[in-house]
Amino acid sequence: MLEELQRPLPPALANNDALFLDVDGTLVAFADHPDKVMPADYLPHLLSVLALHLDGALALVSGRSIAQLDALFAPLRLPAAGLHGAQLRRRGTDETPHSATADWLHDLHLQAEKLAHQHPGMLLENKGQALALHWRNAPDAAAAIHAFAHAQLPRMPGVRLQPGNHVIEFITADHDKGQALLTLMESAPFAGRRPVFVGDDLTDEHGFAIAEQLHGHGVLVGTRANSHARYALPDVAAVHAWLREATPHPT
């Protein structure tokens, strides 16, 4: 167990790597509400320079929608997988995908609102194709939220639960970050490169596993036993420092 928690630091990025970055908890620190997250002022430029250095082979892979990612890092537009892979944009110049609200979300949201009224501080985040139940501001609600989620799931075929950092999400069963990485790696500018996936959460384990399968590696932000990640960085600040080292002109 102790050895797993003491993973080595990742090697420097190589010119032929393809870089896949989670966002919350990896590039930006968590906030009380997802809308309050603020990236460092220099981060969009740093990512832009690094993307150029990798000939465009840098993608954001997030539970957020691609529209949210674009707003967060404006004016930068990168290849991206949003909503855990339910949305995919292979190049930053492609049109931003817009997905219709999933049929199962309306009734689920109504039921979840009843639970939220019982637990002040609990947050519902309706993403159109996913519903996230957050308890960061209502830690005592964790058990009730998990019980609710597992009780609702049998009524929704084709939907799965994705646990995360103080959150559990209802998402479509045929999407995850590993499948998103796999799809992006099939075409330029990612094809033929070594995938490096950086993330902090349980949602990123799918990405770590696929990166390893494709002869790349995962980088865990923080500590966790039983992770597919081969390397680790301690926190968001360390991720930024590691990214700076890979850029030809650090900012």
Torsion angle of C-alpha atoms 104, 122, 163, 5, degrees rounded to 10: 170
- Cis check: omega of the bond before 120, within 30 degrees of 0: no
Q: Tell me the three state secondary structure of residue 68.
A: helix
The counts of H helices and E strands in the chain are 8, 11
Rounded distance between C-alpha atoms, residue 44 and residue 40, angstroms = 8
Using the structure block, give the residue that is written with the tokens 């931003």. 96
Residues designated as active site: 22
The CA distance from 162 to 242, in Å, is 28
In contact, 92 and 79? CB cutoff 8 Å? yes
Chain Cα centroid distance, residue 22: 4
